[in-house]
Copies of this chain bind each other. A is one copy, B any other.
Amino acid sequence: MAKADETGSYKGSGKLRPEEMIYQEMLDAILDRRLEPGMKLIEEDLAQTFGVSRARIRATFLQLAHDKLINLVPNRGAFVSEPTIDEAIEVFAARRMIEDGVARKVAVSMTDERAAQIRNHLDREHDAHHRGDHRAAIILSGEFHLLLARLTGNLVIEEFLERLILRSSLIIAMYESPQPVDCSHTEHDDLLKALTSGDPDVAAAEMSRHLDAIRDRLQLQRPKPGKTDFASIFGRNPKSVAS
């Protein structure tokens, strides 16, 4: 998710790693839906676009596939992931399991300084929201959760949650309501209140509520866009492949 300040200087010199750059660019394109779910990613074309060799594109594909953002099919190629409804539900259930723990840990280790840090982030979220910058709002919303993970001081959790949040972003981009509801920013306020209450159970409960709310705002009942479901369009059951 396009972190602005994490330039990640390489070996102290000003040299930028091209691999990271390509991963980031493809990531942004997927989350922006400039690359639509299901779209075929052709190695040669991407290699020319980025001015690198196919080998590097292949390596990048492995990373993206590991994060479940693309799908690698042997001898067929790479496709932008099309998370199913079941997958979407599972991802948010997994986040709830982990972020409950995060909320608990942050709640019991809360200090004035940390609360200020969170509040500072919330200000930026509100700002983006009032500016009407929907894209920035989504990114900042994800980074809010990442900030909490960072406050646990556990790098393992932080890294895993980062991937899970990216995956969530793809899911949200795919299934979000046509008219953006965006009530999320007040929920983060509630979350901060619960986190500063000092009661881990309260914090965990609020986190669960919030994640469920995000999930429930998605349109997880309609057929996936991009994959036309002719059977449902014409009111018939799909033909079964065997027997």
Could you tell me which A residues sit within 8 Å of B by CB distance? 55, 58-59, 62-63, 66, 90-91, 93-94, 97-98, 100-102, 105, 152, 154-157, 160, 164
- Shortest A76–chain B CB gap in Å is 11
- Shortest A96–chain B CB gap in Å is 8
Chain B contacts of A105 at CB under 8 A? Answer: 97
Q: How far is the CA of A27 from the CA of B59 in the complex (A)?
A: 20
User: Closest residue of chain B to A11, judged by CB?
Assistant: B74
8 Å CB contact of A157 from B62, B97, B155: B97
User: Closest residue of chain B to A95, judged by CB?
Assistant: B156
Contact of A94 with B154 in the complex, beta carbons under 8 Å: yes
Chain B contacts of A58 at CB under 8 A? Answer: 59
8 Å CB contact of A164 from B100, B102, B156: B156
User: Closest residue of chain B to A152, judged by CB?
Assistant: B97
Contact of A154 with B97 in the complex, beta carbons under 8 Å: yes
8 Å CB contact of A90 from B62, B63, B102, B154: B154
Q: How far is the CA of A66 from the CA of B66 in the complex (A)?
A: 8
Question: Given A101-B98, A101-B101, A102-B97, do A90 and B156 touch, yes or no (CB 8 Å)?
Answer: yes
Chain B contacts of A55 at CB under 8 A? Answer: 55
- Shortest A72–chain B CB gap in Å is 11
Contact of A91 with B156 in the complex, beta carbons under 8 Å: yes
Q: How far is the CA of A22 from the CA of B229 in the complex (A)?
A: 40
Nearest 5 A-B pairs (CB), nearest first?
Answer: A97-B101, A94-B156, A94-B157, A62-B62, A90-B156
Chain B contacts of A97 at CB under 8 A? Answer: 98, 101-102, 105, 152, 154, 157
Chain B contacts of A98 at CB under 8 A? Answer: 97-98, 101
Q: How far is the CA of A192 from the CA of B1 in the complex (A)?
A: 41
